[in-house]
Amino acid sequence: MAAENRHMAFICSKGNLDMAYPALIMGWAALGNGVDVTIFFTFWGLDIINKKYMGKLKLPPVGIAGMRTGMMGFPVDFGIPQIVGVLPGMTEVATAIMRKKIAELDVPPVPEFIEMLMDAGAKLYACKMTVDMMGLSQEDFPEGVEIVTAGDFIDLTDGAQIIFI
């Protein structure tokens, strides 16, 4: 009798650029290690797989401590005090810096990363309640993304290591 493969499940509930990559990167690493991967997108996390938004995710600087302390590779002199982060255009500045850093590392943009994950065997699910609440449909998501209830997701990930992002 063959041993059952490990299974990791990620729950993505936020749709900002900086919240998309942790699950995508860890999911890709898990697939590379032979681990089964499931990603469940709920609430604003649906933006990560919504064809209209997935290539346009932003990085709002308000509330990100690393933007003002030099963490995440941002230079210390980039320091954006929280109050400055609310000024018009600061989200675009922060997003441009993050996209540049991502590209410098040869990390694919979100839409390409999603496609790579599905091609490699990751299962991607959209939360039915959130899809209904936001007036979305199957056509809003890339081919291969399934819409399931939270209960279905729980059943699909029985015994999986769950990571909430």
Strand order in the sheet with 146-148: 146-148, 123-127, 36-41, 7-12, 161-164
Task: Using alpha carbons only, give the angle 164, 73, 89 rounded to the nearest 5 degrees.
Answer: 85
Other beta carbons within 10 angstroms of residue 6's beta carbon come to 14
Please tell me whether residues 122 and 147 are part of one structural domain: yes
Over the stretch 54-83, which tens digit does the pLDDT of each residue have? 999 998 877 665 555 444 454 444 455 666
The confidence score (pLDDT) of residue 67 equals: 58
Identify the band that residue 120 occupies on the pLDDT scale cut at 50, 70 and 90: very high
SS3 of residue 134 by DSSP: coil
Please tell me whether residues 98 and 140 are part of one structural domain: no
The confidence score (pLDDT) of residue 82 equals: 61
Please tell me whether residues 120 and 43 are part of one structural domain: yes
Out of 81, 108, 135, pick the residue that ends a domain.
Answer: 108
What range does the domain containing 43 cover?
A: 1-55+111-165
Higher pLDDT, 68 or 33: 33
Please tell me whether residues 118 and 89 are part of one structural domain: no
Sign of CA dihedral 133, 134, 137, 143: negative
Across the range 34-54, mean pLDDT stands at: 97
Out of 84, 108, 132, pick the residue that ends a domain.
Answer: 108
CATH number of the structural domain spanning residue 35 = 3.40.1260.10
SS3 of residue 91 by DSSP: helix
Please tell me whether residues 3 and 73 are part of one structural domain: no
* C-alpha distance from residue 102 to each of 72, 146, 160 (Å): 11, 28, 29
SS3 of residue 41 by DSSP: strand
Residues 6+ apart with CB under 8 A from 97: 59, 74, 78
Please tell me whether residues 95 and 139 are part of one structural domain: no
Please tell me whether residues 98 and 130 are part of one structural domain: no
Please tell me whether residues 61 and 51 are part of one structural domain: no
Please tell me whether residues 100 and 120 are part of one structural domain: no
Please tell me whether residues 47 and 80 are part of one structural domain: no
Sign of CA dihedral 130, 157, 10, 121: negative
Please tell me whether residues 11 and 23 are part of one structural domain: yes
Please tell me whether residues 50 and 122 are part of one structural domain: yes
Q: How many domains does the chain have?
A: 2
* C-alpha distance from residue 130 to each of 22, 44, 85, 90, 117 (Å): 21, 9, 29, 29, 22
